[in-house]
A = this chain, B = another copy of it.
Amino acid sequence: MTKHDQDRKTRILQAIAEGSRRSGTPPTVREIADLVGLAAPSAVHHHLETLEREGLIQRDSGLSRSVRLTARGRSLLELDDAVETTNLPMAARELVVVGQIAAGGPIEAYEERSESVAVPEFMSTADSYLLKIRGDSMIDAQIADGDYVVIKPSKVAADGDIVVAQVEENEVTLKQLFRESGRVRLQPANKAYAPMYYPTVNVQGVLVGVLRRVH
């Protein structure tokens, strides 16, 4: 099995996990194709057959959106801890603001300050946390100075997602993630800052919501 194959398979597994997390239902074959950058549903179908034969996913033949990860599939993505936070029954939940982020730089964790904000259920999960935006570092993503962004802890992310990524031993940053051939591009949401390239990044969370108080 080549390196490329492994990447593609992992990407598809991630897409299934990611798609399920987003909408609450597993993705269709064509949605997976979009997520991993394939043009033909047949190509995805081919991979799904392989993945099912390998015991990483299960499907109900012919039924729409029936694909799901098996325990082995999840463990391969190291998702075992993060899953199943979906059905929490509150219209809102109190989340803690854990730090702030400025100018495309590293995230600055709050040491002593403690602030919490009620976040609507439909744009958060129970384990989400908040970051406060400083400056115009996220302006191209329609995120302004003083906005709060809701981050859901997750090790998987889709192309184009805005993610919290660990790029150095002690540096965590908030950027838009794009997978390119053989590397990962972390794109600041502000044209004044240049993208950064890494062979691999450690995704810690995904942006799932924005809150703004206007004065």
Query: Which of A87-95, A105-113, A164-172, A190-198 is near enough to bind chain B?
Result: A87-95
User: Contact at B90–A84, with CB atoms within 8 Å?
Assistant: yes
Q: At the interface, yes or no: A51 with Cβ under 8 Å from chain B? A: no
Question: A80–B88 Cα gap in the complex (Å)?
Answer: 8
Instruction: Write the A184-214 contact mask toward B (1 if CB under 8 angstroms, else 0).
Output: 0000000000000000000000011111111
* Of A65, A80, A120, A139, most B-chain CB atoms within 10 Å: A120
Measured CB to CB, the closest approach of chain B to A207, in angstroms, equals 5
Q: Judge whether A210 and B215 touch: CB under 8 Å.
A: no
| Chain A residues within 8 Å of B, Cβ to Cβ | 22-26, 28, 58, 60, 64-66, 68, 70-72, 74-75, 79-81, 84-85, 87-94, 117-123, 139, 142-144, 147, 162, 207-215
